[in-house]
Amino acid sequence: MVTPPPAGHDRPGDPCIIVIFGASGDLTKRKLLPALYNLKALGLLPKDFAILGVAVSPGDDQWFRDEITSEIHEFSAHRPIDETIWEEFRKRSFYISGDLNSTATFEKLKTVLERVHGQLKIPGNILFYLAVAPTLFSTVVRQLGAIGLTKEDEKGWRRVIVEKPFGHDLSSARALNNELSQELKENQIYRIDHYLGKETVQNILVFRFGNSVFEPTWNRRYIEYVQVTVAETLGVELRGSYYDQAGAMRDMVQNHILSVLALIAMEPPSSISGDSVRDEKLKVLEAIRPMSPEEILSNTIRGQYGAGEISGEAVPAYRREPQVSLSSNTETFVALKLSVENWRWAQVPFFIRTGKRLAAHTTQVVIGFRTVPLLLFGKNMPNHIPPNRLVLYIQPEEGITLDIHAKRPGPKITLANVPLNFNYSEFGRGDGATGYETLLYDCIIGDPTLFHRYDSVDTSWQIVDPILDVWQALPARDFPNYAAGSWGPESSDRLIAKFGHQWHHYPKIS
């Protein structure tokens, strides 16, 4: 079963041609094609659609169709592939081989687009997906502009999905945005963040604003702290050359984690579409005051993994990974304490941590509630029963747990911690979804809610840039400072302990 479409998303998108730059890359085969196939299977791709792949690999339409056919069978988690649906998909797929720095490639693109529009009777809507190296983002858009493919007219819309990272720091993000803005209006630019395509991340909005019981307690009076953990057991795999220039702060914090934090902390939007949600998310980011150098030294931790073990297997140190410098000072772990300075959250610490090669693969948000104002029960064991906690499991476990206190059965009043659980796997969660379905579909119907608007990107860089500057000025002297397979450097535990807390990790929805 494919995950059913989100409510309200029940009409096929507008007829269009989807042009994928980087069509022979990893993202295309692992995520984009399976997601487009799933949309087709759900009836959410328009009847009149075509896929046009562009990449440097030599090949023609037939070659591309054969390639994607073997890829969909290898990478789609939706089994079995419905061959009738796939055949329809396959025959609507086309390919152009060419160098993206060459004008000739774009002239060819224009000719092929005109042919496909005519041949399949698809109106002029075109979605361009930039699944290419960030260094090519502005080149591709400039070339598209030069041949008039970015201009919208009565014949159709033009939208561009830009992958992350959007810039390397604040100034390069601004420069990139300026370059894109030469050719595109803000409402044509869809800055994608695949975390926002995750079912459980979107559910944060529904959980908070679709229920009336949580909102009254969702503030500093009742919540003592918030923790966001994004832990991976994977290392950098074959992405060493990118990652060694990026590090965990740019790779995870600036985009995915700040976005999740914004959904947790935002005020209720006036509607759930368009700019309302993005306006509220921006306000949260603006309320995260950039830290002074002194605060950075005391409220941030960076780490890099040394050799260790993951699931009983020896794994090398980060510096021994392919395409990583032997003396690399890039952080593979970050822990931070942030403050959201507004009336709702003043003095509530937001702790975030993320890292590669950690002890578990998990993304979860823990909301720690305050203790009851008067301890009637369990007075003699206040430390043994922690106050209520709400755990939002984002992945790979998907669900929500609320830890409450209950009386243990028996003649005496003793308390126990009891989890109230909601598990997505028991809720008709279909397999096979990549997380890109919603985002691709939203772009096709022109709903930008789940995409980053530039002002948020800019504000996120304003938060992380000062930290990166201090780290660069004072290179870490103790790297590697955690073993692969651990929970990161001990200094991360000391950081949170300084504020009277400890990191929580809920391995499973119990």
Residue 256 falls in the annotated catalytic set: yes
Q: Is 226 exposed, middle or buried (0-12, 13-18, 19+ CB in 10 A)?
A: buried
Q: Is 36 exposed, middle or buried (0-12, 13-18, 19+ CB in 10 A)?
A: buried
The Cα 463–Cα 452 span in angstroms is 16
- The number of residues in the chain equals 510
DSSP string covering 70-127: HHHHHH-SSSS--HHHHHHHHHTEEEEE--TT-HHHHHHHHHHHHHHHHHHT--S-EE
Regarding 163 and contact with ligand BG6 (CB under 6 A), the answer is no
- CB nearer to ligand BG6: pick between 199 and 465: 199
Minimum Å distance from CB 361 to ligand BG6?
8
- CB nearer to ligand BG6: pick between 40 and 164: 164
Q: Is 338 exposed, middle or buried (0-12, 13-18, 19+ CB in 10 A)?
A: buried
Minimum Å distance from CB 211 to ligand BG6?
26
Token readout for 466 is: 């000062």
Residues 325-364 that bind ligand BG6 (CB under 6 A): 363
> Do residues 130 and 32 lie in contact, with contact meaning Cβ atoms separated by under 8 Å?
no
Residues 166-195 that bind ligand BG6 (CB under 6 A): 194
Q: Which residues contact 315 (CB under 8 A, 6 or more apart)?
A: 235, 307, 308, 309, 357, 484, 485
SS3 assignment, position 328: coil
For residue 475, which phi and psi values (nearest 5 degrees)? -55, 145
- CB nearer to ligand BG6: pick between 174 and 194: 194
List, in sequence order, every residue forming a beta bridge with 351; answer none if it has no partner: 227, 337
- CB nearer to ligand BG6: pick between 232 and 331: 232
Question: Which of 442, 482, 438, 349 minimizes the C-alpha distance to 35?
Answer: 438
- CB nearer to ligand BG6: pick between 296 and 336: 336
Minimum Å distance from CB 252 to ligand BG6?
6
Q: Which residues contact 382 (CB under 8 A, 6 or more apart)?
A: 371, 375
- CB nearer to ligand BG6: pick between 243 and 369: 243
154: DSSP letter: T
The Cα 49–Cα 33 span in angstroms is 14
List, in sequence order, every residue forming a beta bridge with 301; answer none if it has no partner: 335
The Cα 240–Cα 324 span in angstroms is 5
Minimum Å distance from CB 483 to ligand BG6?
19
- CB nearer to ligand BG6: pick between 2 and 358: 358
The beta strands (E) that lie in 377-443 are given as 389-395, 399-407, 415-423
Minimum Å distance from CB 112 to ligand BG6?
31
> Do residues 335 and 212 lie in contact, with contact meaning Cβ atoms separated by under 8 Å?
no
- CB nearer to ligand BG6: pick between 251 and 398: 251
Residues 429-468 that bind ligand BG6 (CB under 6 A): none
Query: CB nearest ligand BG6: which residue?
Result: 251
Residues 108-147 that bind ligand BG6 (CB under 6 A): none
Minimum Å distance from CB 257 to ligand BG6?
10
Minimum Å distance from CB 75 to ligand BG6?
15
- CB nearer to ligand BG6: pick between 306 and 355: 355
Which alpha helices (DSSP H) does 235-292 contain, by range? 240-248, 258-265, 275-287
> Do residues 285 and 463 lie in contact, with contact meaning Cβ atoms separated by under 8 Å?
yes
Rg (CA), the chain: 24
> Do residues 277 and 285 lie in contact, with contact meaning Cβ atoms separated by under 8 Å?
no
Quick one: which of 67, 183, 199, 232 contacts ligand BG6 (CB under 6 A)? 232
> Do residues 247 and 330 lie in contact, with contact meaning Cβ atoms separated by under 8 Å?
yes
Minimum Å distance from CB 194 to ligand BG6?
6
From 73, 78, 168, 256, the catalytic residue = 256
- CB nearer to ligand BG6: pick between 234 and 413: 234
Minimum Å distance from CB 354 to ligand BG6?
9
Quick one: which of 67, 183, 244, 251 contacts ligand BG6 (CB under 6 A)? 251
Count, residues near ligand BG6 per rule CB under 6 A? 5
Name the residue type at position 112: V
Minimum Å distance from CB 403 to ligand BG6?
25
Residues 363-392 that bind ligand BG6 (CB under 6 A): 363
Residues that bind ligand BG6 (CB under 6 A): 164, 194, 232, 251, 363
| Active-site amino acid positions | 256
